[in-house]
Structure 1
Amino acid sequence: MSSTYEPVHCDSKECKILPDDQYDGGCVNGGQCGYAVQYDDGRNTTGVYSSDTLTLAPGVVVVRNFRFGCGYNQSKQFDMYDGLLGLGGAPESLAVQTSATYGGAFSYCLPAVSRGTGFLALGAPRSNSTASGGFSFTPMSRIPEVATFYKVTITGISVGGKRLLIPVSAFSGGMIIDSGTTITSLPYTANKALQSAFRAAMASYPLRRDGPLETCYNLTGHSNVVVPRVALTFTGGATIELNVPNGVLVELDGTGPDGSTGVLGSLNQRTFEVLYDAGRGIIGFRSGAC
C-alpha cells in the first residue's frame, strides 16, 4: 500500500462533482466515495474514488493528490488491463488535473507495431523548440454534454492522391479523436466513397468477404503489397496521410448517417504525434514521430 494513498471522502467536493450519469457518487465502505462507470460496449468498473502521488518520470513529472478510480469490480474485458489513463476533457482526467502546470496540453505517439516504442508528453512544445516544427493544426471543438471528447472536422478524403467526391455536409457532425477506440468510423456516404476507391486500388488482391470489416484482404503469397495512400484533410487545411508501413491499416467502419459524429481510432493514429492543446483550441498532427 502506498504511504500517500487516501480514499476520497463521499462528502468532499471532489466526490460531489462526479457526473451523475457515469458515477454513483455515493458513500461506500464507511464514508469512502464510490464510483461506477458503464461504457457503451458493455464494459464496466466500480470501486472507490481515491487520491495518491503519481510519478510519471522521477523528479520530472510528479502529480500530488492525483485522483483516480481504484476499481474493485470489473467486467471481464477490464480484467485484462492494469488500468486506463484518462486524457479527456473531464475533470477526472490527467490532462485536466495537471492543467495548472501544463495548460491542459499533451501529446502522444502510438507505435506502428505493438513491440515498438511510443511516448506520452505533458505540455505543448515550446515555439522555439525543434519538436514544435512539423505539426499540421486544425481547430478543436467540444461536445458540451460529453466533456471528455475532443472533436475535429474532416473536409475531404483522398485515395492515391485523388480527392473523393464527398459532400462537405457528410462530415458536419465532426470526428472524435479517440485513442481508446481501435477502428475509425465515418458517416455512411464518406465510408462508401472511401470503400469503393480503396477496393478499386486493391483490386489485385483477394478480398476477405468473411472478415468483420469492409477492407480486409487475404495477402497470402503476396510478398510485395502496394497499398494506396489515404489522406484525411481537416478544417484549416491540415492533411495527414495514413501511411503506416506494417500492412493494410485503412479499415474504416461506416454505420452512421451523414452528419453523424465519426471517430478517428487508434489504428489510424499510429506513428503520428497527436497534440491536444486545449488552451489554444487546436489539435496538431506530426507524422513519423515514433
Structure 2
Amino acid sequence: MPPPISSSLMLLLVLIPVSHFISPACSTSRHGFSSAAPDGIRVGLTHVDSRGNFTKLELLQRRIERGNHRLERLKGMAKLAALDTGNDIQSPIHPGNGEFLMNLAIGTPPLAFSAIVDTGSDLIWTQCKPCTDCFTQPTPIFNPSSSSSFATISCTNSLCQALPTSTCSPTCEYLYSYGDSSTTQGILASETFTFGSSSSKVSIPHIVFGCGDDNEGGGFSQGAGLVGLGRGPLSLISQLGSGKFSYCLTSIDETKTSPLLFGSLASMHDKGVQTTQLIKNPAQPSFYYLSLEGITVGKTLLSIPKSTFALQQDGSGGLIIDSGTTITYLEEVGYNLLRKAFVNQVKLPVADASPTGLDLCFSVPSSTSEVAVPKLIFHFQGADLDLPPDNYMILDSETGLFCLLIMQSSGMSIFGNVQQQNMQILYDSEKGTMSFAPTQCDQL
C-alpha cells in the first residue's frame, strides 16, 4: 500500500521567526583563518519570503520562479566550465540568491545584519560605506571606519589569491559575479563576526569577507549580503576550520526556524544515519556533487542509464545537492522515466499544472480526504534516501491540484531543499562525505 499524503498539507513555507543560539566557543587564528572551538555554533535559518504576506499559491509561484532562475544560472556555469580547456580553471560566475537567511553581526561594536545562506558559492560579503552603488537593505549598511577590528587584506594573502577575480591597489580588491548579472565589488577585508542573541553569543575574529561598495543587481535585496558555505577556502565553513556543518530544514508548513550547526554540534548519532561520498568537480570546486545511481518509484527501479546523472570529464552533468534551489531538477532522460512512473501509479487524472509553475499535477476530487502516492527512493552511492511523501508531492486544497515537486533539467541535475526537509544533512569536508537521517527538525 503506498503511503498516504494528507489533504491538509500546505503549499509552501510560511512565516519563520528568527532565533540564534551559540554554544560557548573560543577562536584562534592560523594562516589568516579563524576556527571555532569544538563546542561549535548553532544558528537559526529563516525563509526569504517570511516577511511577505503571500497566499500559498503566490508562495509556490515565487519559489518555483526563483528555482527555475537558479537552475538556468547553474546550467550556464556548467556550460562555461565545459568550455575551459585547463583542469585548474574556475568559472568566475556563481549561482547567487538563495532560499534562507541567517542573522549575524559584524565589527566592533557589532552591527547586526541578515545574509543569504548559499551552499553554491564561497564568498562572505556585505554592503559597505561609502557606497558607490548599493541596493536598499533592511538593516544599516556597515561602515568600516566605525569598527575598531576592521583590517584590509593584502594581495599576497592566500584568500585574496583564491578569488576568481581580483586586483591589487595596493590592498586586495575583488569582483564577484552571479549568474543573474548581479555583482559585488569592493575590498577584501578581515573582521570580527558575531553569532547569537544578547543572552548567548560568540564573537569570532579574523573572518575574511568582501566589503562591497559597488553592488549591482536585484538578486540580494532580501538581506544585506551573502554567506557562502561552499567547498572553497573563502567560505564560512572553511574559515571556521570546523571541518563540518549540518542543517535541518523544517517542514514547508512549519513556522519554526531551521537549525544550522557547525563543528561538533553538527555531529549525527542516530542509528538511521546513511553516508555517501561527495564528488569533486575541478571545473566547479565549490559545489557538493553526489553520485546518484538510480531512482525507485513505488516498487519499480527505473531503467535510467547509469550515465544519466554522471559527472562528465569536462565538468558538465552530475548532480549537486543545493540549499538554495527550491525543488529537485533531474536530467531529461531520468525525469521523463520518473514522470511516466508517477502518471502510471497515481490513480488520478493529470491536470493543468501551469498555475503552479510545476510540470506534473493531478486533479483531486473535493470529496477526497487523502491520496495514496507511490514511494520515492533516491539511490546514492552507498546510501538509499527513502523520501516521505511530503518531500515530493504537494496538495493545494484550494485548487485541488496535487503536484510532483520535481522538474526536468538538461546539462546538470540538482537535489533541492524541499526534498531535504525534515532531514538532517551533514557535510564533512575532512572525510569528503555527506550524511543524512530523517529528523524532526523543529526538535533538533
With the shorter chain as reference, the TM-score category is 0.7 to 0.9
The equivalences for 1:108-127 within 5 A come to 108-113=247-252, 115-124=255-264
Q: How does 1:60-209 map to 2 (within 5 A)?
A: 62-72=203-213, 73-99=215-241, 102=242, 104-113=243-252, 115-124=255-264, 131-173=269-311, 174-209=318-353
Instruction: Tell me the matched-pair count.
Output: 277
- Tell me if structure 2 keeps the 8 A contact 1:244–1:271: no
3-state SS, counterpart of residue 166 of structure 2: coil
* Contact 1:216/1:251, CA 8 A, preserved across alignment: no
Question: Given that residues 164 and 194 in structure 1 are in contact (C-alpha distance below 8 angstroms), is that contact kept between their aligned partners in structure 2?
Answer: yes
Q: Which amino acid aligns with 2:394?
A: G
Question: Which structure 2 residue ranges, 5 or more long, are not aligned?
Answer: 1-106, 109-146, 312-317, 396-402
C-alpha change, 1:9 and 1:78, in structure 2 (3 Å) is same
Higher relative contact order (CA 8 A, sep 6+): 2
> CA shift at 1:12, angstroms?
4.5
Question: Structure 1 201/48 Cα, relative in aligned 2: closer, same or farther at 3 Å?
Answer: farther
Report the Cα distance in structure 2 between the residues aligned to 1:74 and 1:277, rounded to whole angstroms: 34
Structure 1 Cα separation of the partners of residues 375 and 288 of structure 2: 26
Worse overlay, 183-192 or 205-214: 205-214
Contact 1:250–1:268, Cα closer than 8 Å, also in 2: no
- Indicate which of 380, 390, 393 corresponds to 1:234: 380
Q: Cα gap change, 1:60/1:233 in structure 2, threshold over 3 Å: closer, same or farther?
A: farther
Q: State the TM-score, normalized to the length of structure 1.
A: 0.82
Percent identity of equivalent pairs: 29
Once the two structures are TM-superposed, the CA of residue 218 in structure 1 deviates from its matched residue by 5.5
Asked if 1:212 is matched to 2:357, the reply is yes
After superposing the two structures, state which structure 1 stretch, 107-116 or 87-96, moved more: 107-116
| Partner Cα distance (2:222, 2:364) in 1 | 30
TM-score, normalization by structure 2: 0.56
State the distance in 2 between where 1:200 and 1:41 align. Answer: 38
Provide, for residues 138-196 of structure 1, a one-character-per-residue CA deviation record: whole Å limited to 9, x for no partner: 11111113221111111111112432121222122231111112232211211111111
CA-CA distance at 1:250 after TM superposition: 4.1
Quote the offset at 1:237 in angstroms: 3.3
Q: What SS class does the counterpart of residue 146 from structure 1 fall into?
A: coil
Secondary structure at the counterpart of residue 238 of structure 1: strand
SS state of the match for residue 189, structure 1?
Answer: helix
Q: Which runs of 5+ in 1 are unaligned?
A: none
